[in-house]
Structure 1
Amino acid sequence: MWVRGRPQDNSDCGVMFSRGIRFFSQLCTQRYEMIGELLGREQHDIALLQEVWSEKDFLFLKRKLSSSHPYTHYFKSGVFGSGLAVFSKHRIQDALLYKYSLNGYPYMLHQGDWFGGKAVGLVIVDIFGLKAHVYVTHLHAEYSRAQDEYLPHRMVQSWELLQFVRHTSCGADLVVLGGDLNMHPQDLGNRLLRSHTGLRDCYTETDTFDGCEDGHTLIAANHFSKKQDLIPFEKGIRIDYILMKGSQKVSMKCESLSTTKGPVADKPYPYSDHEALTAELALLHSEDSRQHGSSNGEDSHTGMASKCLEHILTKTFISFLDLDTVIYLAVYGTVTGLPVFIQNILNCVPKTKEAFMGLERHGGK
């Protein structure tokens, strides 16, 4: 992802997904050269990239962008790195990495999710006097929509991601999250993320869109995309996102969003197997936002949270328990095994006891 801004209350935000495994990916060196040229030419304020697996490739981009993006951070995780990298025109004040507790299986050597150590990275940047918390992440791949054995992994990652954003974005004037969530817009993990954080999807919020049909970021026309990944979605899927949220000090509005459309001009191949995203965001200070009737979107997401929970919680008196704990343990227990799940449930005995006392007071109904 990359962000481009201007001191006037407008800023452009772009997201790019760079995928290059040195010695394995096709045309890896050439594509990093293209990405470096693009970032230097477009002058985005912040660039967030995923799947920069080789630190050598990161250092190449760092040298190439030293004048346009002098501030950088490379998030190291797992065996060969998280692949997450940040390039910024503005000084990075702080950075933090959280590695997801579930990351696939080590014996699935050909997939590499476990070895990469999927994670979320945070950089805190001062942009024109505003404190911006910018997140970049990459969740576990789906591989098969029909037989998705990694759905519990992405659910746990989604839950940990939203908790990380909630607890680290306090005090931020601007919050932007970009990355490959490997989830369709209406997938449960995606809706939980947006409903619990108040983050808004730039694709659904934008005034103007120019890009692939329905905002798809994985399309059949892309030279590097695996056609089996698109079954049964022949036209493509939207699994890469720019999410945003303002604050009481400033609100955010997406004025335009665009994606790349496969091959690059004058080149027979694209930047990556995923399409890059670019968004233009308007920043309105509190007085301006009231005049324009803008909001940060938290109220619009209040009802969404309860709808998401309906997919998991079906018992009336389950509300006596800590809902956050129940959701997380239910998914985590599915993956780690029944013994661990039971042990974690026992840790909630005080709340469980209170719930049963409530049931008894209501006559067990």
Structure 2
Amino acid sequence: MANAESVRLQVFSLNCWGIRYLSKHCSQRYAMLGDMLYKKEHDIVLLQEVWSEKDYLSLKQKLASCHPHSHYFKSGVIGSGLAVFSKHRIHDTFLYRYSLNGYPYMAHHGDWFGGKAVGMAVLSIGSLIANIYVTHLHAEYCRDKDPYLPHRVVQAWELQQFIRHTSAGADLVILGGDLNMHPQDLGNRLLRTSTGLRDSYLETAKFDGCEDGMTLIADNPFISKNEILPFEKGLRIDYILYKGSPKVNIYCDYMCTTKGSVPDHPFPYSDHEALTAELRLETHTPSEAQSDKKLWKHDSAAGKVAELVDIMTEARTEVKVGLHCAERMRYTATRTGVMGLALLFLELAIAAVPYLALGAEQPFPLTSFYMLAGLCFAILLTTFLLYIFKTMELKSLQGAEDQMRLAIGSLQEKLRGFPLAQPHSTQRRPPEGLEPSAFDPEE
């Protein structure tokens, strides 16, 4: 590839834990973060949990000279918390809000109020078009019994759909954010297999950071060890993923994470560790890439499709579990509402006794009637709202399950069209940045 051109790109990602008045040392940590970003001058900065627009504007002002282009994605009651800063011009942005994002009655978790979403920014990097995505998925609060797992699986499903359908014309794709999923979790496997995105930690030539690339560690002073149980040392739930195109090969030459403490500062930037990936983009003519691609495509495509069918089947099963739970909760809400309505009618019947039997006195004090009426109306209102919410949840889960069913059928049909694998054929690794998606059309 004598005509190949090389471009270096430094990508930074951090969950800022920026809840004003609740997160510890919030304003000081934003000041530290702004100073660090100003000195390091990353090409692209992807931030999550920037819940206050004032904090975003403060960072924007501080980084105006080194990152003149930025965007803050607004969503939900308190915002999506997503922000992008870039040295390169941002031509277009778009926000997709996930259809499922926890429960409003679980207010102590707060995910529902955050309007979790994926933000997209279209950048020009020289002559290349880059689709940059930043996202934050629903948190996992209990590993053993996770009531939010179906929601997170649906979020991963919608995320991979959004990336696939919006990145067709891009020369490169970069996704950064807090996925709240372990590397081998169902949603993570679904995302990477269906899109062909590569994990910079697994692909990097050199790594400097926490053990096993963990981004939520016990040594961080903001982390309680109970939060990461049963994992004593920590978790890896933050990622920088990337993908090239027939025009661009991408290599991750170096990746690093912070290690809890920050030199010369009393506390770290956040409860999460920051990630930095140094990517090398090598551009070439599409004909060169296509000749390489044909060598491995037929050998690897069948395996990719079969793997994705298994993953989607597993995801569909998990969504069905969520459907069953939502249907059961809606039935409970309906039954409770009917009982509340019956109690209200009974009270009205008792209240009508003095009017039907002339001269009869009201057998119960008025205060008791008012309290009982208030209780009945509270039950009716609560169950009505719960019924509406559970109906919306059911429709979102059913929609995702239907989409998965169609996709599985399409992939199975595609799989039947592949010739049987040759027993002595060798598996070739695709060129860097050209990881195939199982949804790629057959040639």
TM value normalised by structure 2: 0.69
- Rg larger in structure: 2
- Aligned counterpart, 1:16: 14
Listed as ranges, the gaps of 5+ residues in structure 1 are 1-6, 315-323, 356-365
- Aligned counterpart, 1:337: 327
Alignment of 1:173-212 (within 5 A): 173-212=171-210
1:275 to 1:343, Cα distance in 2 relative to 1, 3 A: closer
Q: 1:9, CA displacement in angstroms? A: 2.1
How far apart are the structure 2 equivalents of 1:103 and 1:66? 33
**Which consecutive aligned stretches of 4+ in structure 1 deviate over 4 angstroms post-superposition?**
287-291, 297-302, 326-329, 338-348
1:143 to 1:174, Cα distance in 2 relative to 1, 3 A: same
- Aligned counterpart, 2:227: 229
1:288 to 1:224, Cα distance in 2 relative to 1, 3 A: farther
Tell me which of 169, 172, 184 is aligned to 1:171.
169
Alignment of 1:279-358 (within 5 A): 279-286=277-284, 303-304=303-304, 306-310=306-310, 313=313, 330=320, 333-334=323-324, 336-337=326-327, 340=394
1:290 to 1:213, Cα distance in 2 relative to 1, 3 A: farther
- Aligned counterpart, 2:33: 35
Q: 1:103, CA displacement in angstroms? A: 0.5
How far apart are the structure 2 equivalents of 1:259 and 1:108? 32
Residue type of the alignment partner of 2:307: K
Alignment identity in percent? 58
Q: 1:128, CA displacement in angstroms? A: 1.5
1:311 to 1:40, Cα distance in 2 relative to 1, 3 A: closer
How far apart are the structure 1 equivalents of 2:139 and 2:82? 15
**Contact 2:323–2:398 under 8 Å retained in 1:** no
Residue type of the alignment partner of 1:25: S
Listed as ranges, the gaps of 5+ residues in structure 2 are 329-390, 411-443
Q: 1:19, CA displacement in angstroms? A: 1.3
What SS does the corresponding residue of 2:16 show, helix, strand or coil? coil
Residue type of the alignment partner of 1:313: T
Deviates more, 1:339-348 or 1:18-27: 339-348
- Aligned counterpart, 1:157: 155
Q: 1:66, CA displacement in angstroms? A: 1.1
- Aligned counterpart, 1:106: 104
How far apart are the structure 2 equivalents of 1:343 and 1:179? 27
**Contact 2:247–2:286 under 8 Å retained in 1:** no
- Aligned counterpart, 1:137: 135
What SS does the corresponding residue of 2:154 show, helix, strand or coil? helix
**Contact 2:122–2:129 under 8 Å retained in 1:** yes
What SS does the corresponding residue of 2:77 show, helix, strand or coil? coil
What SS does the corresponding residue of 2:18 show, helix, strand or coil? coil
Deviates more, 1:130-139 or 1:280-289: 280-289
1:288 to 1:196, Cα distance in 2 relative to 1, 3 A: closer
Higher helix share: 2
Residue type of the alignment partner of 2:207: F
Q: Does residue 1:96 correspond to 2:94, yes or no?
A: yes
1:262 to 1:152, Cα distance in 2 relative to 1, 3 A: same
Q: 1:300, CA displacement in angstroms? A: 6.0
- Aligned counterpart, 2:251: 253
Residue type of the alignment partner of 1:251: N
- Aligned counterpart, 2:66: 68
Q: 1:45, CA displacement in angstroms? A: 1.3
Q: 1:70, CA displacement in angstroms? A: 1.3
**Contact 2:10–2:44 under 8 Å retained in 1:** no
1:196 to 1:265, Cα distance in 2 relative to 1, 3 A: same
Tell me which of 263, 278, 281 is aligned to 1:265.
263
How far apart are the structure 1 equivalents of 2:128 and 2:401? 45
Residues 61-91 of structure 1 show CA distances to partners (whole Å, capped at 9, x for unaligned) of 1111111111111101110100001111111
How far apart are the structure 1 equivalents of 2:260 and 2:287? 37
Residue type of the alignment partner of 1:143: Y
How far apart are the structure 2 equivalents of 1:181 and 1:294? 32
Residue type of the alignment partner of 2:192: R
What SS does the corresponding residue of 2:31 show, helix, strand or coil? helix
Residues 217-257 of structure 1 show CA distances to partners (whole Å, capped at 9, x for unaligned) of 00000011232121111111100000000001111011111
How far apart are the structure 1 equivalents of 2:283 and 2:114? 40
TM value normalised by structure 1: 0.83
Q: 1:313, CA displacement in angstroms? A: 3.4
1:252 to 1:182, Cα distance in 2 relative to 1, 3 A: same
**Contact 2:34–2:63 under 8 Å retained in 1:** yes
Tell me which of 42, 55, 58 is aligned to 2:56.
58
Q: 1:28, CA displacement in angstroms? A: 0.3
Residues 300-326 of structure 1 show CA distances to partners (whole Å, capped at 9, x for unaligned) of 686355335435639xxxxxxxxx9x6
What SS does the corresponding residue of 2:162 show, helix, strand or coil? helix
- Aligned counterpart, 1:115: 113
How far apart are the structure 1 equivalents of 2:138 and 2:267? 25
Residues 252-272 of structure 1 show CA distances to partners (whole Å, capped at 9, x for unaligned) of 011111000001001121000
**Contact 1:249–1:285 under 8 Å retained in 2:** yes
Q: 1:10, CA displacement in angstroms? A: 2.1
How far apart are the structure 1 equivalents of 2:167 and 2:245? 10
